Amino acid sequence: MTDETNFTIEEIKPRADALRGLDSLFLQDNAALVQTYRNMDWSDISSLTQMVDVIEQTVVKYGDPNDSIKLALETILWQILQKYPLLFGFWKRFTTIEYQLFGLKKSIDVLATSVKWFPTSLELWCDYLNVLCVNNPNEKDFIRNNFHIAKDLVGEQFLSHPFWDKFIEFEVRQENWDNVQIIYEYIIEIPLHQYARFFTSYKKLLNERNLKPKRDIDTVLRRTQTIVNEIWQFESKIKQPFFNLGQVLDDDLKNWSQYLNFITNPSKSLDKKFIMSIFDRCLIPCVYNEKVWLLYINWLSREDSSYEITVGIYQKASKLLPLDFKTLRYDFIKYLKKNYRLNNVLFSNIFNETLSHFLNLWPNDVSLMTEYICMWKRHSFKNSLDQPPREILEKQTSFTKILETSITNYLTNQTDPRVHLQTLMNDKNLSIVVVELIKTTWLVLKNNMQTRKYFNFYQKNPLIKDSVPFWLTYYKFEKSNVNFTRLNKFIKELGVEIYLPTTIMNDILADYKTFYLMHSNIVAYETSTLDSSTFDPILYPELKISNPQYEPVADVKPNAEWYKRTEWKEAGHVGIMIERPQISNSIIECNSRNLVQRPITLPNFRNLEKINQVKINDLYTEEFLKEKK
């Protein structure tokens, strides 16, 4: 795009504190600047505006400050614009400030950067081209080149007449009448706000220059006129065409959605470039609205747009959207997987890049690792039917090897940055890699011995010990072996040594009962219940459902201290322990021959004095309310 301009602002490293390293005297004299910077509220446009105001005042005050001050001011502005590149007003003010501080060259550079960061801004392009025309009138090719870039980006916008005026003016000045006609021919098809004016001047030009139109321009005029009339109902209602912080007005959103529906209606068969330009414009105020992005992508895929455009929009969206929008980003991954065959290498690269990015954003999202391994295997270890089996086996073995080394490296803290997988691994998704290793060994290499070894080895690791995928794989593995001894042990250990979410445990328990009933037989059942009197593979899972810490009563004899159990103390009022009063002497004695000699003793009471000693463990107040952050 504007790579010709060797630019310096973008090279400014985003520093956490732009004011660091400044002369303390300067800081003292400009307390307002320091204070505004320190108190800047990134979500409040007025706070940002105030910041720029203060910078402008500082520039006026000092005229030509020293380099470090200049750099500091530049950095602040750059920080703001890097975060919100769509604030075109700030770009303009930045340009002025740069002009005052450094002179013309650098201010033009700022404009060049601005159209690179905010390419769909009509105002910025007009400013930039204007400055170029006025200051470098001789670099015609460079200017014309920029005009053409701008034409593609903003030329279709409803209010882009200032740009076209400028373009025509530029070509007229060169007296390049062919080009002028080409421009007019281009314009008359665009539904512009001032389409009529351009028609008149085109006709005038044709008359003056005695040129011949290449087609019947009146037909074109009528067509353009209809479209302009149709879209005017939407265009006239746009209240805020620019980007601002905070919510977009509901009316505007509604209008945009109707507008987009209207133009994307297949029956209209509008020009694709025109529709895209409306989407681009909508995405200026609605840049943080995921739905509009999805609508755009949806439309692109319906129109069979080239994957470059679609991927471009996806990348732009995933860069600009706030981090909590996941739908579009997951859509992107799906899209890449689906269209992988279009361009293996490119898509695999984009995929890896995107995944690394997403894993940085959401390190807890284990599904990303699953996606990655799938794609990695598909790309780097692909097999086809015409390959000899030996080759296939070798490939799969090497895949397993890489997985195992990656896991070992990760566990020993020696990750190799050259292996992409190892850079992606974290504590959360380690178990996914382990499961993949186990599954390949078990299902592809068919090595049951090795699989069991892996299970035994990794289940000791605290990072894997409570991993759902790991244990579900284990459960499946033992189920496939119909190994009831191990399965029984596994079921027994659930909730006691293997801690899984209750939902999953319930699923397993319910499923196990079914499985047992279907695959075991009465003899096996009876022997198993004979062996261990406490475990019944049919009854036990049922008792454990929704009771993760269920333990069968091993000792059938009544416990002498039964009244000390939590269940008794909390009976009827969970969370509140009460020592209930009890009669401590038993009247069983009355059956003895003592009864004959003496009367039954009066009841003795235990815990009568504790009746109102309520024991509660109020963690909520202790740990939450009183806890200071």
Partner 1 sequence: MSYKQFNYYPNRGDPTRNDSFQYNDVTSSNNNSINNNGTNVLNVQGASDINPGTAGNQLYMGDLDPTWDKNTISQIWGSLGEANINVRMMWNNPSNSSSRPSMGPKNNQGYCFVDFPSSTHAANALLKNGMIIPSFPNKKLKLNWATSSYSNGNNGSNNSISNGKSGNNYSIFVGDLAPNVTESQLFELFITRYASASHAKIVHDQVTGMSKGYGFVKFSNADEQQLALSEMQGVFLNGRAIKVGPTSGQQQQNVRANGGNEYNRSSSSLNNENFDPRFPSKNQSSLGNVTNNMSSKRNHMSQFIYPVQQQPSLNHFTDPNNTTVFIGGLSSLVTEDELRAYFQPFGTIVYVKIPVGKGCGFVQYVDRLSAETAIAGMQGFPIANSRVRLSWGRSAKQTALLQQAMLSNSLQVQQQQPALQQPTYGYIPSTSYENPAPLNSNITASMLPGSQTLNYASPYTNDNSLLHESSNSLGLNDFGFYNKNGATNASTASLMTNNDSIGATDANGQQVLMQGNEAFANSTTAMLNRLEQGSNGFMFA
Q: What does the H/E/C string look like for 219-262? A: HHHHHHHHHHHHHHHHHCCCCCCCCCCCCCCHHHHHHHHHHHHH
Contact call for residues 192 and 163 (beta carbons, < 8 A): no
- The residues in 286-345 that bind partner 1, with binding defined as CB under 8 A, are none
Residue 327 Cβ vs partner 1, minimum distance, rounded to whole Å: 11
Instruction: For CA atoms 206, 207, 213, 218, give the dihedral sign.
Output: positive
Query: Does 570 participate in binding partner 1 (rule CB under 8 A)?
Result: yes
Is 87 or 433 the residue whose CB approaches partner 1 more closely? Answer: 433
Residue 617 within binding range of partner 1, rule CB under 8 A: yes
Judged by CB under 8 A, the residue of 182, 517, 587, 600 near partner 1 is 517
Q: Is 562 in the site for partner 1 (CB under 8 A)?
A: no
Q: Does 448 bind partner 1 (CB under 8 A)?
A: no
Of 237, 316, 395, 428, the one binding partner 1 (CB under 8 A) is 428
- Measured CA to CA, the distance from residue 135 to residue 454 in angstroms comes to 71
Q: Is 246 left (phi over 0), alpha (psi -120 to 50) or beta?
A: left
Among 320, 402, 445, 504, binds partner 1 (CB under 8 A): 504
Terminal Cα-to-Cα distance of the chain (whole angstroms): 49
Asked if residue 367 binds partner 1 (CB under 8 A), the reply is: yes
Alpha helices for 265-388 (secondary structure H): 272-282, 290-302, 307-320, 327-338, 344-361, 367-380
- C-alpha 160/C-alpha 198 separation (Å) is 12
Residues 6+ apart with CB under 8 A from 295: 260, 264, 279
Stretch that binds partner 1, among 89-97, 224-232, 248-256, 429-437 (CB under 8 A): 429-437
Among positions 194, 370, 450, 529, the unique one binding partner 1 when judged by CB under 8 A: 370
- For the bound state, the minimum distance from the C-beta of residue 498 to partner 1, rounded and expressed in Å, comes to 10
Distances from the Cα of 365 to the Cαs of 315, 331, 427, 468, 469, in angstroms? Answer: 20, 15, 11, 14, 13
Nearest distance, CB of residue 364 and partner 1, angstroms: 6
Among 59, 228, 333, 432, binds partner 1 (CB under 8 A): 432
Q: Is 614 near partner 1 (CB under 8 A)?
A: yes
Exposed/middle/buried for residue 333 (C-beta within 10 Å: 0-12, 13-18, 19+): buried
Least Cβ distance, residue 522 to partner 1 (angstroms)? 17
CA distance 279 to 275: 6
524 binds partner 1 (CB under 8 A): no
Amino acid occupying residue 215: R
How many chain residues bind partner 1 (CB under 8 A)? 69
- Residue 582 within binding range of partner 1, rule CB under 8 A: no
Applying CB under 8 A, does 507 fall inside the site for partner 1? yes
Of 275 and 328, which has the nearer Cβ to partner 1? 328
Handedness of CA 100, 102, 105, 109 (dihedral sign): negative
Cβ distance to partner 1 smaller for residue 287 or 435:
435
On whether the CB atoms of residues 432 and 469 are closer than 8 A, the answer is yes
Phi/psi for 538 (5° steps) reads -95, -45
95-119 b/e (C-beta count within 10 Å ≥ 16 → b): bebbbebbeeebbbbbbbbbbbebb
| Binding of residue 439 to partner 1 (CB under 8 A) | yes
Sign of the torsion formed by the C-alpha atoms of 261, 262, 266 and 272: negative
Applying CB under 8 A, among 44, 526, 551, 618 the residue interacting with partner 1 is 618
Nearest CA among 461, 501, 459, 497 for reference residue 478: 459
Phi-psi category of 69—alpha, beta or left, where left has phi over 0 and alpha has psi -120 to 50? alpha
611 binds partner 1 (CB under 8 A): yes
| Per-residue tokens: 132 | 């170029």
Q: How far is the CB of 10 from partner 1 (least distance, A)?
A: 34
| Closest separation in Å from C-beta 331 to partner 1 | 14
Counting contacts by CB under 8 A, is residue 625 touching partner 1? yes
454-493 residues in contact with partner 1 (CB under 8 A) are: 462, 465-466, 468-469, 472-473, 476
Half-sphere CA count of 245, side-chain side, radius 13 A: 14
Choice between 137 and 501, CB closer to partner 1: 501
Q: Does 518 engage in binding with partner 1 (CB under 8 A)?
A: yes
Give residue 274's identity as a one-letter amino acid code: F
Is the Cβ of residue 35 or residue 367 nearer to partner 1 in the bound state? 367
Q: Are 519 and 554 in contact (CB under 8 A)?
A: no
Residue 27 in the binding site for partner 1 (CB under 8 A): no
DSSP helix, strand, coil percent of the chain (3-state; round to 5): 65, 0, 30
Q: Which of 364, 448, 485, 559 binds partner 1 (CB under 8 A)?
A: 364
Name which of 274 and 477 has its Cβ closer to partner 1.
477
Q: Which of 502, 559, 584, 594 binds partner 1 (CB under 8 A)?
A: 502
The distance of closest approach from Cβ of residue 341 to partner 1 in the complex, given in angstroms and rounded to an integer, is: 22
* Strand-strand pairing, 605-606 and 582-583: antiparallel
Residue (13 or 620) nearer to partner 1, CB: 620
Does 150 help bind partner 1 (rule: CB under 8 A)?
no
Q: Least distance in Å: CB of 250 to partner 1?
A: 27
Residue 582: which H helix or E strand, with range? strand 582-583
Closest CB to partner 1 among residues 343, 426: 426
Using CB under 8 A as the binding rule, whether residue 281 contacts partner 1 is answered as no
581 is a site residue for partner 1 (CB under 8 A) = yes
Among 495, 528, 537, 540, the residue binding partner 1 under the rule CB under 8 A is 495
Q: Is 546 in the site for partner 1 (CB under 8 A)?
A: yes
Write each residue from 120 to 149 as x if it is in contact with partner 1 (CB under 8 A), else as -, in one continuous string: ------------------------------
The one among 8, 233, 514, 532 contacting partner 1 by CB under 8 A: 514
Which residues are near partner 1 by CB under 8 A? Answer: 364-367, 369-370, 427-429, 432, 435, 439, 462, 465-466, 468-469, 472-473, 476, 495, 499, 501-504, 506-511, 513-514, 517-518, 541-542, 545-549, 566-567, 570-576, 581, 608, 611-612, 614, 616-621, 623-627, 629
